[in-house]
């Protein structure tokens, strides 16, 4: 009994030493990680002089509004297309695609389910 | 602050301090501040403070508490953008990006112009590649803060990523005009200019790009990039004469860049091979130490001229003793004329070196000095590698043995000998030689890894792990460490080894580990969204984004995914029995004696299993300890590594939905590895089993687009037609009329009006000279009509074996042996094995088990004998130790 205990005791000590060793090892290996950590540090933004930029802001704003209008018009066009729920489900089920993808393709093919199926399998 | 519960000035100041502390990662101070606020009895329930406390705790790695406090805070103050923002940040650190985006959107509802929230949202959008949303957010930020540099850059980049080059360029142009006073050597400014130039080049406005580059070259500090793109632009704009001096300069900077030489030739408009070689000669004079101008002419020259340049190049390499000389010229072997010339030259060297020590008779006659003694070894090594490449195993072994007799201590020779055996189909013998090589230099990591790989090819996973352990971190199991280090060559080979051994779960585990590495690499890009913008390394950043988009194109992913899909298909075809079911196999039907045997076997197996599970438990405890210590170490540094479910082999191989799992691996391949036919063939196998006709058709079409003549496509077509015919019967309902319409049209296109039988007969007749085509034809023959089994088998087994490659023979033999292609055909398989053994005498798969065992015993006996002899020798010459040294010296000369 006592003998066994002694052995256990020494083992515990060994383990402690091991873990110390491991710790120092870990530190050595993780130096790089500390450097990487700094990548996410907080940093102040750099400002530029505000001269003459308001017109640019306006110009880009207009440009973007135009883009948005175009996009909205295109989306509206697509939304106008009549699609059947069962067609969407057929596409989803046969081709294992998401609902949004099935619907999009179906609308692009003006609601023609055969054309939509073909469009997906031939790309 | 539009909170429902604003703080008074004193607490407000503390709260602002708390925010600052979080930003500066002073989490402990932050906690103290939070405590101060919360200790005020009026504000113990203050939502925003509670949320911030949670976030700070998360910074310290106390995830569960963090969630508790953040949720509590949010519940107390649902209309606070701070609480929503904090919840978003917490989700983000948990990699739940979709959820985080929702939180940010909620936060913006309460405060739509909050800069920090918008910035954080834009990071998530770019990470999730919601490019339209990113553009939206970036524009919002731009209108809010046009005076900040970062607003402009991000705004421009959002357009660039959507390929609206015009807009991206005009934003950057306006920005650079509003910029004043640029310091000399401003690296960030320089990078920005180069980024703008990249946009111009990508939008194909080359003249504008060139003008831009010339105008600003004084401000750009990356001179190399200026030269490279300027030269490129001159060539594209057909101003060749201006490009020539640029590439001359570049070659002077680095005479080992292949691309510069190619561009130089383009710029000089030299295309005629003789002229090109002449130019390389000039460069050889100019840069005598450079390798490129010596090696590149070998690609260009042909016939007699090739003989001359190859002769010079090879002699130089052999004289200096360059170990990878063969690998360096291996690509030339694709041209059979060149391979023949090289072989002739090498044989001539070998003959003359053994006779007189010169490379040629002329040298000997002219009385030139003899070559170094090592030249002969290198020549023999080269010849061995050459014959190995030609799959002439006997000649290869002959030369490598000569070389080893000459210099037994040269590691390269042993590696090559191993490789010859590997190519000849004997992975076990191959690994023996690699292990021998490894033992000669245990500090060499290259040979260590090679040895491990060869062991894996021989299905010795345990041994491979032990070998690798020599170089992995101490105190951790090698397997875990290799996983942690994302050592994917090891893991993919390991997966394949387990697959060969039929240990499906273990194989899947490895595949999933590789998949997780790729997911992690995608995660890792998150930090770069802020970092690169700040450091203005925009060209590199865009490059990174584009790389991450196609990351799973990588061969490692392909290998792992292919293996996983194959295993899942196998598990679908032959599901594993649950462990309880295995116990009960046919006990009733066994005679008593057999039953007794079985019982004792089971007992033994049980004992073994118990032992193993005890060991596994021990290992588990160790692993947990390791995990714990790792977590402790990580607590300060990496709080945001999410805990993934542990991969358990037993669970993986007993999945309920193997095909769905296979599809998970398949999807990225279909998107990113479209140009590899295996992708579509695998897709077909999956969809065939799912009985999805349209998707089978899609796979066939895609496969035909890659290679219409590929043999396996034929069997796919036949099986597709067959499924089509039997669909209604199986499903007990007719096909949907729309689907039918698509299918009708497609089948018409695929096979016209032929019956599958006709199609198959035609196919067999047309491709009777190609065994792989015949194999697919025979397979379909049996598939269509099981009564034609004998004819089908005869079709493949009667093919002239001397015209077949080893891999082809292995494929056919395994098909016969496993009986899953032609049904049960043991006798034919055995006969075929015998025939193959005569043709491929080294290949292990065709040898008998008894023969192999006898060989093993003989080897063991030989080893024992050798040991005995050695012992006796040691007794005899303990006094005269010089003898063995002399003996090797004699052998060496």
At B517-565, the pLDDT tens digits run 999 999 999 989 999 988 899 999 999 999 999 999 999 999 999 999 9
> Does a structural domain hold residue B803?
no
- Number of neighbours of residue B258 by Cβ within 10 angstroms: 11
Listed range (A35-49, A67-81, B87-101, B599-613) with the worst mean pLDDT: A35-49
Residue of A nearest to B738 (CA): A114
The residue ranking higher by pLDDT, B634 or B117, is B117
Residue A62, domain extent? 53-81
Residue A39 belongs to some domain of the structure = no
Predicted local distance difference test score (pLDDT) of residue B138 = 93
Return all residues near B388 (Cβ < 8 A) that are at least 6 apart.
Answer: B396, B416, B419, B420, B423
Q: How confident is the model at residue B641 (pLDDT cuts 50, 70, 90)?
A: very low
CATH classification of the domain holding B105: 1.25.40.10
Interface test with B, best of A45, A51, A70, A97 (most B CBs within 10 A): A45
CA B677 to chain centre: 17
Task: For residue B148, list its beta bridge partners.
Answer: A47
Same domain, A94 and A108: yes
Dist CA B390 CA B430 (whole Å)? 18
For B97-109, what is the mean pLDDT?
A: 91
Q: How far apart are CA B355 and CA B367, in angstroms?
A: 14
Distance from the B148 Cα atom to the nearest Cα atom in chain A, whole angstroms? 4
Asked, for residue A102, whether it belongs to a domain, the answer is yes
* Mean pLDDT value of segment B415-444: 95
Is residue B148 domain-shared with residue B89, that is, in the same domain?
Answer: yes
CB contact under 8 A, A57 and B146: yes
Cβ distance of B178 and A53 shorter than 8 Å:
yes
Let me know whether B72 and B165 are in one domain. Answer: yes
Q: Is residue A29 part of a domain?
A: no
One domain, residues B199 and B95: no
B153/chain A closest Cα distance in angstroms: 12
**In-domain check, residue A2:** no
Q: Which of B214, B238, B262 is the last residue of a domain?
A: B238
Question: In this structure, are residues B796 and B774 in contact, taking their beta carbons and an 8 Å threshold?
Answer: yes
Q: How far is it, in rounded angstroms, from Cα B318 to Cα A51?
A: 69
Q: Are residues B101 and B144 in the same domain?
A: yes
Task: Let me know if residue B867 belongs to a domain.
Answer: yes
User: Which residues of chain B make contact with A49, given a CB cutoff of 8 A?
Assistant: 147, 178-180
Is pLDDT at B598 greater than 80 in this prediction? no
Q: What is the pLDDT of residue B371?
A: 93
B472 interaction partners in chain A (CB closer than 8 Å): none
B54 & B190 share domain = no
Q: Each residue of B772-802: b (16+ CB within 10 Å) or e? A: bbbbbbbbbbbbbeeebbeebbebbbebebe
Contact B736 A54 (CB under 8 A): no
**A121: nearest CB among B663, B697, B738:** B697
Is B62 part of a structural domain of the chain? yes
**Domains identified in chain B, total number:** 3
| Interface contact flag, A22 B629, Cβ < 8 Å | yes
pLDDT at B617: 64
**Does B478 or B635 have the greater pLDDT score?**
B478
The residue that leads in pLDDT, B2 or B686, is B686
Contact list in B for residue A30 (CB cut-off 8 A) is 633, 637
Q: If you measure CA to CA, which chain A residue comes closest to B526?
A: A40
Chain A residues closer than 8 Å to B149 by CB: 45-48
Partners of B746 on chain A (C-beta within 8 Å) are: 121
Between B655 and B557, whose confidence is greater? Answer: B557
Please tell me the predicted confidence (pLDDT) of residue B662: 96
The DSSP secondary-structure symbol of B148 reads B
A5: closest CA of chain B, how far (Å): 20
A98-107, B337-346, B610-619: segment of lowest average pLDDT: B610-619
Contact by Cβ (8 Å): B565, B662: yes
- The residue ranking higher by pLDDT, B618 or A88, is A88
Q: Which chain B residues have a beta carbon less than 8 Å from that of A118?
A: 742, 745
Q: How would residue A61 be classed by pLDDT, with cut points 50, 70 and 90?
A: confident
Of the pLDDT bands very low, low, confident and very high (cuts 50, 70, 90), residue B178 is: confident
pLDDT tens across B58-96, in order? 988 888 899 999 999 999 888 889 999 999 999 998 888
Split at pLDDT 50, 70, 90, the class of A43 is: low
CB-based contacts of B582: which residues, under 8 Å, 6+ apart? none
Q: Is residue B88 part of a domain?
A: yes
Q: How many CB atoms lie within 10 A of CB B37?
A: 23
- The mean predicted confidence, pLDDT, of chain B is 88
| pLDDT score recorded for residue A58 | 78
Distance from CA of B107 to the nearest CA of A (A): 21
Å between A118 CA and nearest CA of chain B: 7
Interchain contact, A45 vs B633, CB within 8 Å: no
Q: What DSSP character marks residue B554?
A: S
B202-211 contacts at long range (C-beta below 8 A, 24 or more positions apart)? B202/B165, B203/B165, B203/B166, B203/B169, B205/B165, B206/B233, B206/B236, B206/B237, B207/B237, B209/B233, B210/B234, B210/B237
pLDDT at B859 over 90: no
Specify whether A69 is located in the same domain as A89: no
**Per-residue pLDDT, B886:** 43
Inter-chain CB pairs, A–B, below 8 Å: 118
Same domain flag for B212 and B100: no
- Judge if B161 and B18 occupy the same domain: yes
ipTM exceeding the 0.85 mark: no
Residue B113 lies in a domain: yes
| Max intra-chain CA distance, chain A | 89
Contact A57, B146 (CB under 8 A): yes
The verdict on residue A62 lying in a domain is yes
Among B183, B202, B225, give the residue marking a domain's end: B183
Average pLDDT over residues B667-689: 94
* Same structural domain, A75 and A90: no
Q: Residue A84's pLDDT band (boundaries 50, 70, 90)? A: confident
Question: Measured between alpha carbons, how far apart are the two ends of chain A, in Å?
Answer: 76
How much is the pLDDT for B11? 86
Q: Give Cα B769 distance to the centre of its chain.
A: 35
State whether B72 and B137 are in the same domain: yes
DSSP three-state, residue A47 = strand
Residue A100: inside a domain:
yes
Residue B517: other Cβ atoms inside 10 A: 19
**Does residue B38 sit in the same domain as residue B160?**
yes
The 3-state secondary structure of B179-224 reads: CCCCCCCCHHHHHHHHHHHHHHHHCCCHHHHHHHHHHHCCCCCCHH
More confident residue, A26 or B132: B132
pLDDT at B497: 97
Q: Is B374 inside a domain boundary?
A: no
Q: What is the pLDDT of residue B309?
A: 95
Residues of A in contact with B738 (CB under 8 A): 87, 90, 113-114, 117
Closest C-alpha among B125, B159, B196 to residue B529: B125
Above 80 in pLDDT, residue B609? no
Interface contact flag, A95 B694, Cβ < 8 Å: yes
Best residue in A72, A96, A98 to probe B by mutation, most B CBs within 10 Å?
A96
Range of the domain at B226: 184-238
Instruction: Give the residue from B690, B674, B678 showing the smallest Cα distance to B569.
Output: B690
pLDDT of amino acid B599: 66
Better-predicted residue by pLDDT, B544 or B112: B544
Which residue, B242, B277, B281, B246, is CA-closest to B260?
Answer: B246
Residue A47's beta-bridge partner residues? B148
Asked whether the beta carbons of B565 and B686 are under 8 A apart, the reply is yes
Say whether both A99 and A73 belong to one domain.
no
Give the mean pLDDT of A47-64: 71
- What are the backbone dihedrals phi and psi of residue B148, each rounded to the nearest 5 degrees, phi first? -95, 135
pLDDT band of residue B851 (cuts 50, 70, 90) is confident
Residues B284-341 have pLDDT tens digits of 999 999 999 999 999 999 999 999 999 999 999 999 999 999 999 999 999 999 999 9
DSSP state of B410: -
Q: How many domains does chain A have?
A: 2
B368 pLDDT above the threshold of 90: no
* A121 part of a folded domain: yes
**Band of the pLDDT at A65, cuts 50, 70, 90?**
confident
Select from B146, B637, B693 the Cβ nearest to the Cβ of A34.
B637
A17, pLDDT greater than 70: no
Would you place residue B870 in the very low, low, confident or very high pLDDT band (cuts 50, 70, 90)? confident
Per-residue pLDDT of B255-290, as tens digits, reads: 999 999 999 999 999 999 999 999 999 999 999 999
Residues B159 and B18 placed together within one structural domain of the fold:
yes
Residues B69 and B203 both lie in one domain: no
- Considering the entire predicted model, what is its pTM? 0.82
Query: What contacts B400, CB < 8 A, 6 or more positions away?
Result: B380, B381, B384, B413, B416, B417, B420
Interface probe for A, chosen from B174, B532, B686, B699 (most Cβ of A below 10 Å), is B174
Residue A23 domain flag: no
Same domain, B74 and B108: yes
Give CA–CA dist B328/B11, Å, rounded: 72
A90 & A120 share domain: yes
Pick from B21, B118, B178 the residue to mutate for testing the A interface (most A CBs within 10 Å).
B178
What is the reported pLDDT for A36?
57
Which chain A residues have a beta carbon less than 8 Å from that of B23?
42
User: Is the confidence at residue A15, as pLDDT, over 50?
Assistant: no
Query: What letter does residue B579 receive in the DSSP assignment?
Result: H
Assigned domain for B94 exists: yes
With bands split at pLDDT 50, 70 and 90, how would you rate the model's confidence at B118? Answer: very high
Alpha-carbon distance of B321 to B315, in angstroms, equals 10
Percent of chain B residues topping a pLDDT of 90 = 67
Residue B61 lies in a domain: yes
Pick the residue from chain B with its C-alpha nearest to A43. B534
Per-residue pLDDT reduced to its tens digit, B23-42 = 888 899 999 999 988 988 88
Residues B360-386: b if buried by 16+ CB within 10 A, e if exposed: beebeeeeeeebeeebbbbbbbbbbbb
């Amino acid at each position: 009994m006592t003998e066994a205990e002694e052995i256990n005791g020494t083992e515990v000590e060994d383990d402690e030493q091991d873990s110390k060793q491991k710790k120092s090892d870990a530190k050595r290996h993780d130096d790089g990680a500390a450097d990487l950590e700094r990548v996410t540090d907080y940093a102040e933004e750099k400002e530029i002089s505000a001269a003459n930029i308001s017109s640019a802001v306006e110009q880009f704003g207009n440009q973007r509004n135009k883009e948005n209008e175009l996009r909205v018009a295109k989306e509206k066009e697509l939304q106008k297309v009549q699609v059947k729920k069962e067609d969407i489900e057929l596409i989803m089920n046969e081709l294992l695609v998401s609902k949004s993808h099935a619907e999009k393709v179906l609308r692009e093919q003006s609601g023609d389910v055969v054309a939509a199926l073909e469009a997906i399998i031939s790309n | 602050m539009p909170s429902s519960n604003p703080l008074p000035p004193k607490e407000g100041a503390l709260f602002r301090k708390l925010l600052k502390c979080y930003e500066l990662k002073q989490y402990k101070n932050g906690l103290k501040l939070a405590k101060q606020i919360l200790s005020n009895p009026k504000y113990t329930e203050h939502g925003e403070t509670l949320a911030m406390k949670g976030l700070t705790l998360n910074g310290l790695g106390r995830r569960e508490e963090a969630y508790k406090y953040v949720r509590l805070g949010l519940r107390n103050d649902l209309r606070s953008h701070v609480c929503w923002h904090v919840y978003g940040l917490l989700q983000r650190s948990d990699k739940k990006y979709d959820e985080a985006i929702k939180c940010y959107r909620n936060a913006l509802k309460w405060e739509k112009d909050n800069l920090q929230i918008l910035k954080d949202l834009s990071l998530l959008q770019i990470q999730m590649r919601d490019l339209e949303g990113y553009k939206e957010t970036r524009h919002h930020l731009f209108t809010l803060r046009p005076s900040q540099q970062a607003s402009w850059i991000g705004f421009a980049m959002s357009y660039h990523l959507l390929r609206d080059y015009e807009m991206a360029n005009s934003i950057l142009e306006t920005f650079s005009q509003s910029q004043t006073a640029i310091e000399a050597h401003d690296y960030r400014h320089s990078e920005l200019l180069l980024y703008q130039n990249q946009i111009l080049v990508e939008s194909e406005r080359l003249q504008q790009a060139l003008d831009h580059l010339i105008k600003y070259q004084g401000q750009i500090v990356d001179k190399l990039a200026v030269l490279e793109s300027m030269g490129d632009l001159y060539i594209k704009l057909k101003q060749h004469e201006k490009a020539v001096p640029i590439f001359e300069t570049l070659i002077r900077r680095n005479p080992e860049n292949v691309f510069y030489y190619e561009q130089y030739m383009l710029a000089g408009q030299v295309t005629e091979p003789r002229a090109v070689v002449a130019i390389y000669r000039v460069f050889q004079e100019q840069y005598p130490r450079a390798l490129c101008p010596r090696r590149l002419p070998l690609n260009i020259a042909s016939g007699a001229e090739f003989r001359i340049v190859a002769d010079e190049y090879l002699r130089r390499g052999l004289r200096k003793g360059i170990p990878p000389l063969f690998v360096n010229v291996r690509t030339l072997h694709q041209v059979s004329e060149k391979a023949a010339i090289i072989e002739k030259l090498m044989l001539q060297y070998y003959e003359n070196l053994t006779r007189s020590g010169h490379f040629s008779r002329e040298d000997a006659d002219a009385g030139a000095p003899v070559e170094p003694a090592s030249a002969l070894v290198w020549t023999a090594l080269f010849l061995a590698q050459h014959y190995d490449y030609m799959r002439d195993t006997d000649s290869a072994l002959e030369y490598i043995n000569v070389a080893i007799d000459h210099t037994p201590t040269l590691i390269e020779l042993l590696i090559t000998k191993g490789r010859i055996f590997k190519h000849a189909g004997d992975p076990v013998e191959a690994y023996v030689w690699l292990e021998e090589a490894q033992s000669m230099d245990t500090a060499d990591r290259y040979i260590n890894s090679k040895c491990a790989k060869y062991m894996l090819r021989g299905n010795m996973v345990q041994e491979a792990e032990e070998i690798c352990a020599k170089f992995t971190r101490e105190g951790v199991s090698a397997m875990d460490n290799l996983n942690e280090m994302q050592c994917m060559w090891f893991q993919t080979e390991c997966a394949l080894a387990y697959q060969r051994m039929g240990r499906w779960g273990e194989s899947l585990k490895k595949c999933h580990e590789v998949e997780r590495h790729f997911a992690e690499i995608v995660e890792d890009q998150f930090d770069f969204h802020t970092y690169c913008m700040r450091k203005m390394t925009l060209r590199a950043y865009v490059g990174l984004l584009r790389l991450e988009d196609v990351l799973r194109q990588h061969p490692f992913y392909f290998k792992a995914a292919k293996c996983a899909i194959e295993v899942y298909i196998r598990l679908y075809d032959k599901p594993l029995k649950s462990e309880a079911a295995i116990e009960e196999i046919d006990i009733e039907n066994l005679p008593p004696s057999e039953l007794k045997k079985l019982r004792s076997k089971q007992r033994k197996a049980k004992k073994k299993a118990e032992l193993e599970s005890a060991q596994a438990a021990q290992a588990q405890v160790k692993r947990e300890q390791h995990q714990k210590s790792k977590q402790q170490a990580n607590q300060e540094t990496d709080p945001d590594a999410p805990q993934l479910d542990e991969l358990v082999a037993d669970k993986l191989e007993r999945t309920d939905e193997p095909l769905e799992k296979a599809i998970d691996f398949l999807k990225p391949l279909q998107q990113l590895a479209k140009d590899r036919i295996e992708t579509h063939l695998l897709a077909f196998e999956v969809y065939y089993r799912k009985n999805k006709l349209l998707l089978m058709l899609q796979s066939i079409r895609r496969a035909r687009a890659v290679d219409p003549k590929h043999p396996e496509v034929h069997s796919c077509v036949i099986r597709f037609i067959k499924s089509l015919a039997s669909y209604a019967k199986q499903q007990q309902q007719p096909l949907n009329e729309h689907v039918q319409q698509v299918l009708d049209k497609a089948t018409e296109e695929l096979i016209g009006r032929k019956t599958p039988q006709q199609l198959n007969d035609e196919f067999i007749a047309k491709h009777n000279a190609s065994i792989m085509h015949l194999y697919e034809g025979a397979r379909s023959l049996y598939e269509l009509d099981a009564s034609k089994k004998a004819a089908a088998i005869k079709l493949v087994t009667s093919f002239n074996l001397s015209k077949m490659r080893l891999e082809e023979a292995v494929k056919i033999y395994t098909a016969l042996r496993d009986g899953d292609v032609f049904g049960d055909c043991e006798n034919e398989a055995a006969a075929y094995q015998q025939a193959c053994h005569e043709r491929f005498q080294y290949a292990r798969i065709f040898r008998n088990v008894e023969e192999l065992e006898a060989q093993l015993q003989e080897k063991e006996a030989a080893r024992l004998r050798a040991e005995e002899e050695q012992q006796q020798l040691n007794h005899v010459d303990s006094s005269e130790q010089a003898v063995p040294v002399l003996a090797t010296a004699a052998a060496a000369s």
